[in-house]
Amino acid sequence: MRLQAVDRPRSRSRALQKRTESLSDVGEFGLIDRIRKRATSGRRGAVRIGIGDDAAVVRPGALSELLATTDLLLEGIHFDLSYTDFYSLGWKSAAVNLSDIAAMGGEPRFCLTALGISSGVKPEQVLDFYRGVNDLLGMHHAELIGGDTCASRTDLFISVTVIGEVKRGRAVLRSGARPGDLIFVTGTLGDAAAGLELLSRGVRQTSKGRQIPQRKPSRHEAYLLKRHLRPEPRVSEGMALSRSGCASSMIDISDGLSSDLLHICKQSGVGAEVREGAIPLSPALIRMQEHLTRPGLTHALSGGEDYELLFTVPPSRLVKLRSLALPVTQIGMVRKGRSLVLIGQDEKKRTCGPCGFDHFSRVSAAERA
Ligand code: ADP
Ligand code: MG
């Protein structure tokens, strides 16, 4: 696509222009060429034509179904360039999509990235972004096969699409939960939301991010920051669950446990009961919670961006699940009805609505403020 003409600031000094290349020095096609040279190669032979033609040509496996997912990441909504470095931003942009493929039980294969690049961004920052994208894709044998590049008059705008594969009939849907199924999550919850709270209070990562922290974060803080900035999608766990046929339904936790579990409930026509005391919290979150504005459990229930998997398992498949030796915790049980009931440490029950992230409610709240 043609690069839209954007008014470039003319007042920049020559010295500055000499020191760092600008996007107008490199140009749209120069930038795409650098992105192409850095693209990872996935499993050999699957990509006939990658970056460089009008469209990529890929070969899906003969016995598979394709999964397709896309996510938008907007500056000021999903990320803040004062919080994140470009490497982490690239990593996370790919991770949120890989997590959606994982939640279907699929294997990520191909990735497309569309960027609206704001005028202050430097070519090396774009290439750092792609280092992050490619490092994560490479870990999962997926490949960058195309995208689009435009100048943005306002903020940085990122759209990532991932195509995955799953064996025919093996995709794990949100709609398969049945009363009596057990509810599990991978890993720990609430870390990413706690990390975001730390970032919003000025705690910064050190090292590669090239950011100068006001003070070095503690070990626990650094862990929580990393969980927010560079989430690790549960691709191998999702694939193991689909291949083994253990999971009756699955979703990834992007909006918070309560909201995402309610998505499963709605689409499966069931209710759920969750034991608060069973929700897994990381040692870092437990240690840090007295310094946070909200308890760890609240971050776990409503924080979001954990990119862990939430899934249900019929009791008859429990032994099989255990044999997979995945890092999972049982947190509750699927019930008849429609509601999500939380059982407190004191055995008291309360009904919980969706309290996770909702783009439009936040926008309207901000507008009201
Ligand atoms: P067209 O104008 O036909 O859409 P482009 O010049 O936009 O072609 O893109 C040329 C090639 O470069 C295509 O293969 C496209 O997928 C790829 N491409 C463009 N921008 C990016 C990007 N940001 N990341 C990865 N690939 C890109
Ligand atoms: Mg194009």
pLDDT tens digits along 224-279: 999 999 999 999 999 999 999 999 999 999 999 999 999 999 999 999 999 999 99
What was the pLDDT predicted at 45?
A: 81
What's the chain's Rg over C-alpha atoms? 22
Q: What is the pLDDT of residues 6-33, one digit of tens each?
A: 444 444 444 444 568 899 999 999 999 9
| Cβ neighbour number for residue 154 with a 10 Å cutoff | 11
Task: Give the three-state DSSP class for 71.
Answer: strand
- Ligand closest to CA 27: 1
Distance, in Å, from the CA atom of 270 to the CA atom of 340, rounded to the nearest integer, reads 9
H/E stretch holding 241: helix 235-244
- Ligand closest to CA 157: 1
* Ligand 1 closest atom vs CA 130: 24
- For atom 16 of ligand 1, the residue with the nearest CA is 146
CA of residue 2 to ligand 2 center, whole Å: 8
Question: In this model, does residue 61 exceed pLDDT 90?
Answer: no
Distance, in Å, from the CA atom of 325 to the CA atom of 109, rounded to the nearest integer, reads 25
Report the chain's mean pLDDT, rounded to a whole number.
90
- DSSP string of 293-359? SS-HHHHHHHT-----EEEEE-GGGHHHHHHHT-SEEEEEEEESSS-EEEE-TTS-EEEE---S--H
- Work out whether strand 157-167 and strand 349-352 pair parallel, antiparallel, or are unpaired: unpaired
CA of residue 97 to ligand 2 center, whole Å: 20
CA of residue 33 to ligand 1 center, whole Å: 9
Distance, in Å, from the CA atom of 191 to the CA atom of 286, rounded to the nearest integer, reads 10
What was the pLDDT predicted at 9?
A: 44
| Stretch 320-344: mean pLDDT | 97
Strand partners, 183: 312, 332
Cα dihedral 199, 280, 166, 270 in deg (nearest 10): -110
Confidence of residue 213 (pLDDT cuts 50, 70, 90): low
Distance, in Å, from the CA atom of 116 to the CA atom of 125, rounded to the nearest integer, reads 13
Cα dihedral 327, 332, 338, 341 in deg (nearest 10): -120
Distance, in Å, from the CA atom of 98 to the CA atom of 84, rounded to the nearest integer, reads 20
Task: Determine if ligand 1 sits within 6 Å of the CB of residue 137.
Answer: no
| Stretch 190-197: mean pLDDT | 97
Distance, in Å, from the CA atom of 308 to the CA atom of 185, rounded to the nearest integer, reads 7
Distance, in Å, from the CA atom of 291 to the CA atom of 142, rounded to the nearest integer, reads 39
Cα dihedral 318, 319, 320, 323 in deg (nearest 10): 120
What was the pLDDT predicted at 304?
A: 86
- Work out whether strand 340-343 and strand 271-275 pair parallel, antiparallel, or are unpaired: parallel
Q: Give yes or no for a contact between 270 and 179, defined as CB atoms under 8 angstroms apart.
A: yes
H/E stretch holding 129: helix 123-139
What was the pLDDT predicted at 347?
A: 95
Could you tell me the two tokens for 135?
Answer: 């490092």
Task: Determine if ligand 1 sits within 6 Å of the CB of residue 1.
Answer: yes
| Amino acid, single-letter form, for residue 56 | A
Q: What is the DSSP letter of 349?
A: E
Question: In this model, does residue 106 exceed pLDDT 80?
Answer: yes
Share of the chain above pLDDT 70, in %: 88
Distance, in Å, from the CA atom of 26 to the CA atom of 122, rounded to the nearest integer, reads 10
Alpha carbon 141 to chain centroid, angstroms: 17
CA of residue 149 to ligand 1 center, whole Å: 7
Task: Determine if ligand 1 sits within 6 Å of the CB of residue 312.
Answer: no
What was the pLDDT predicted at 359?
A: 63
Mutational test site, ligand 1, from 34, 113, 148, 163, max ligand atoms within 8 Å of CB: 148
CA of residue 67 to ligand 1 center, whole Å: 22
Could you tell me the two tokens for 335?
Answer: 């019930």
Instruction: Name the residue among 282, 335, 339 with its Cα closest to residue 308.
Output: 282
